[in-house]
Chain A
Amino acid sequence: MNLTNAIDLKIRKIFEGVILTNSHENYLNIIINKNIDTYYEEPQNIQQTYFSFVDTGSVESFADYLNEFWMEKGFEGFVSMVDEMSELAFLLCSDSDTQSEDVSQFIYTMY
């Protein structure tokens, strides 16, 4: 099995283990409510919103980082596959030396 296949298989596995398993819930604020006065929220994710470090020292330490990240925020449902995610990140890292001129389609900015 080549690296590309291995990566795609892992992504599919994580997709099923994390995305589909947790897809019964709405995680986004998309309900329009005419009866409230404001849609502003208090800042969330305080630590990462200001500044922080990400531990990518090893597969294990990155998995621990992800585990703590979601446990702290109360999303236990996302931690079941942190080991796989971490392994995947290191696999992708070894395959990521080339850069594309394209803007990632998942990242929108204005102007």
Chain B
Amino acid sequence: MAQSRYILGISAYYHDSAAAIIKDSEIIAAAQEERFSRVKHDPRFPVNAINYCIEEAFIEASDIDAVVFYDHPILTYDRIIKNCATVGEHSYDTFNSATKSILGIKLWVEKHVKQTIGTVGKLGKVLFAGHHISHAASSFFPSPYNESAIVSVDGVGEWSTTTIAHGIDNDIKLLKEINYPNSLGLLYSAFTYYCGFKVNSGEYKLMGLAPYGKPIYVKHIYDNLIDVKQDGSYRLNMEYFGYLETNKTTNQKFHDLFGASPRQPESVITRKEMDIAASIQQVTEEIFIKIAQHARNSTGSSNLCLSGGVALNCVANGKLLREKIFDNIWIQPAAGDAGGALGACYVANHLYYKEKRSIPNGKNDKQHGSYLGPKYSDTEIEAFLDRNNYVYKKYAETDKNELLAKEIDKGKIVGFFAGRMEFGPRSLGARSIIGDPRNAEMQSKMNLKIKYRESFRPFAPAVLREDVNKYFDLDQDSPYMLIVAPVKETIRKQVDTNIEHNADDMIPIINQIRSELPAITHVDYSARIQTVHKDTNEKFYNLIDAFKQLTGCSVLVNTSFNVRGEPIVCTPKDAYLCFMRTDIDILVLENYILFKEDQPKFEEKENWQQKYELD
């Protein structure tokens, strides 16, 4: 019998470092380092994630065939040098720091791999996979398609910022690209910064803010900041951006264009930020759709695979879906840099080793619901609870779900920890906080007392796949919460239009009841949908089903199990800490249920509000 081939992929030193491992083309494990280190978006070499991946594969490190790193350090250095040469004398600080970062750290991946696992695998040296080919591979190879157009859009990787590729069988050909400094991702990040959110994490907030505003700056953006061709290709007017010379994305000319300095983080969000958010969101969507159309024309494919950070813009994804340019769209749930670790594995497997691909059936992907992280057995959980004298009761699956359904119906908020942890930024029912979407107070309670985050941010619905069309204008799978679709007209409610159009403060707008599921209905009647499937997450499915049996509603609010600035919980201990630090009422650790009021007095050992810096 032929020996299995194991490939370890590593993404590090960018943002959100991660590791992944595949065995004979099958994903065995993938995880972000932040989940273990408890440092949000941890960019460091992912020693813990690597250890976990090898643990899941349960092989000796010396059994790994190849170690692949996502990104080519010298190609990135080439970009830095040319950037600095273009800028001249003023670029010294940039050059100094970048040289230390690339020649001092990124170049020495092999050394870090050896230090971490004692070997670089049977290949004997680390393989460097390109940034965008890795993105493309991360979306095409696990997708259900044997042939597909592939679009990858992010901030920048080496030189590329946008690529169009064509995947057929076990091969990917890059067709077109747009290169640095022209970047749709960096454009969005510039507005993220300008609106007072943190670059690299606040983009999601900007997207959530957009529906509150009117897109009155769209023309302004097109006239001054970006020239877009009919085929979706674009070029930025660098006179308005700061990142060639400094570490700021915008410059004074940009600020002058919008008539003010950037909003201070955590200050009041005004109508202006809402309108700017709406405008850049519309521009992004328009360009994104044009790029997709061009990918369709270039490849002739009716399938599309998406990746890169911009593919996490689920509003744009939803619009793209409704444009019906493609018959089918598959989006890598870890579309950002973490997913590069998985993509790098596939680059090695199919492009370097030329491994054949088993023919997909067009329906089921190979992402395993993105439940690719660690799970904890009942014995491990019980050992943890006993060691700490925490009060719990063990339930049979059915009894547990009946109890939880009743408690959720009463307005209780549940920390739900079940099965393998998710890979990617979204919680999909393995490490989730859940509540009743019919409850009008749920959104503000969850935002302010559980997540400690901005009150405007919407929550996502997790809905049984077979019932999605009862509540939303969507009748397809959306298992990774990457598609936004409208809430059905039939369950919408009228709002006070006076408040809606005239309030400068967001709170009254947020508090309007917009549908029978107010907690998950965004201001524009949209929702970021997760369809829940019995074959990929039976436990979560059964819980929602129990809620449906009790209430007739087959939707639950699903938000990530963390507080603002904290990585999503990984271990039972992380979950317990988050449970005790917030107003979560009930903690579910697999089959064990803990009620807050039963727990021993909680002695906080660390200043977690300081530890988890606001994102």
The reply on A49 being an interface residue by CB < 8 A is yes
With contacts A42-B176, A52-B72 taken as known, whether A89 is within 8 angstroms of B96 at the C-beta atoms is: no
> Closest A-chain residue to B199, C-beta based?
A108
Pairwise interchain contact B105-A88, C-beta atoms closer than 8 A: no
Instruction: Tell whether, in the assembled complex, residue A103 and residue B74 are in contact, meaning their CB atoms are under 8 Å apart.
Output: no
Given contacts A20-B89, A23-B88, A51-B130, whether A103 and B200 have CB atoms under 8 Å apart is: yes
Given contacts A106-B247, A109-B309, contact A48 B98 (CB under 8 A): no
Q: Is the CB of A39 within 8 A of B13?
A: no
Q: B78, B186, B189: which contacts A69 (Cβ < 8 A)? A: B78
Task: State whether B83 touches A28 (Cβ < 8 A).
Answer: yes
Interface string of B232-244 (1 = CB under 8 A from A): 0111111000011
Contact residues in B for A99 (Cβ distance below 8 Å): 44-45, 105
Is B128 on the interface with A (CB-CB < 8 A)?
Answer: yes
Contact of A11 among B88, B96, B247 (CB under 8 A): B96
Q: Are A104 and B348 in contact (CB under 8 A)?
A: no
Q: Would you call A32 and B237 a contact (CB within 8 A)?
A: yes
Residue of chain B at shortest CB distance from A25: B85
**Bound Cα distance from A95 to B107, whole angstroms:** 13
Tell yes or no: A5 within 8 A of B by CB.
no
Q: A45-B158, A103-B41 are in contact. Are A54 and B107 (CB under 8 A)?
A: yes
Which of A99, A105, A111 has its CB near the most chain B CB atoms (within 10 A)? A111
User: Is B103 within 8 A of A18, CB to CB?
Assistant: no
Contact A39 B130 (CB under 8 A): no
- Give CA–CA (A108, B86) in the complex, Å: 19
Task: Give residues 53-77 of B contacting A (CB, 8 Å).
Answer: 68, 72-76
Q: Evaluate contact between A53 and B43: CB separation under 8 angstroms.
A: no
A107 contacts B128, CB within 8 Å? Answer: no
A15-B15 Cα distance, complex, nearest whole Å: 27
Residues of B within 8 A of A33 (CB): 235
Q: Are A38 and B233 in contact (CB under 8 A)?
A: yes
C-alpha gap A72/B249 in the complex (Å): 32
B305-320 to A contact mask, C-beta < 8 Å, 1/0:
0001110110000000
**Are A89 and B103 touching (Cβ within 8 A)?**
yes
**Interface residues of chain A: helix, strand, loop or mixed (majority):** loop
Contact check, B231 vs A93: say whether CB atoms are below 8 A apart: no
Residues of B within 8 A of A56 (CB): 107-108, 110
| Complex alpha-carbon distance, A18 and B312, angstroms | 38
With A20-B88, A105-B97, A108-B249 as contacts: A95 and B104 at CB distance below 8 Å: yes
Assess the B133–A49 pair: CB atoms within 8 A. yes
Q: Which residues of B in the span 92-150 have a Cβ within 8 Å of any Cβ on A?
A: 92, 94-101, 103-105, 107-108, 110-111, 125-130, 132-133
Give the chain B neighbours of A96 by CB distance below 8 A: 104-105, 108
Per-position binary interface string of chain A over residues 33-55, scored 1 when its CB falls under 8 Å from any chain B CB and 0 otherwise? 11011111111110011111110
Residues of B within 8 A of A93 (CB): 104, 107-108, 111
Contacts of A28 in B (CB 8 A): 82-83, 86, 180-181, 244
**Number of contact residues on B: which range applies?**
35 or more
Q: Roughly how many angstroms separate A70 CA and B516 CA in the complex, as a whole number?
A: 62
Asked whether B95 lies within 8 Å of A26 as measured between CB atoms, the reply is no
A33 and B107 CA atoms in complex are apart in Å by 37
Smallest CB-CB separation from B204: which chain A residue? A111
Q: Given known contacts A48-B128, A49-B133, is B231 in contact with A104 (CB within 8 Å)?
A: no
Q: How far is the CA of A69 from the CA of B204 in the complex (A)?
A: 38
Residues in B neighbouring A11, C-beta threshold 8 A: 95-96, 99-100
Docked Cα-Cα span, A107 to B94, in Å, equals 11
- Assess whether A78 is in contact with B81, with CB atoms less than 8 Å apart: yes
Please give, as numbers and ranges, the residues of chain B lying within 8 Å of A1 by CB-CB distance: none
Whether a CB of chain A sits under 8 angstroms from the CB of B570 is no
Binding site for A on B (CB under 8 A): 13-15, 39, 41-45, 68, 72-76, 78, 80-89, 91-92, 94-101, 103-105, 107-108, 110-111, 125-130, 132-133, 154-160, 163-164, 174-183, 185-186, 188-189, 199-201, 203-204, 227, 229-231, 233-238, 243-244, 247, 249, 294, 308-310, 312-313, 335-337, 347-348, 351-352, 425
Cβ-closest 9 pairs across A and B: A92-B104, A110-B185, A110-B309, A27-B82, A39-B233, A105-B247, A111-B309, A108-B155, A40-B176
A-B contact pairs, 24 of them (CB 8 A): A15-B92, A28-B82, A33-B235, A37-B229, A39-B227, A40-B294, A41-B179, A43-B175, A51-B352, A54-B128, A56-B110, A92-B99, A105-B97, A106-B80, A106-B247, A107-B156, A108-B186, A108-B189, A109-B14, A110-B189, A110-B203, A110-B309, A111-B313, A111-B336
Residues of chain A at the chain B interface (Cβ within 8 Å): 7-8, 11-12, 14-15, 18-20, 22-23, 25-34, 36-45, 48-54, 56, 65-66, 69-70, 73, 78, 85, 88-89, 92-93, 95-96, 99-111
Extra 6 A-B pairs, beta carbons < 8 Å, given A11-B100, A65-B74, A99-B105: A31-B235, A39-B178, A52-B128, A53-B127, A101-B42, A110-B312
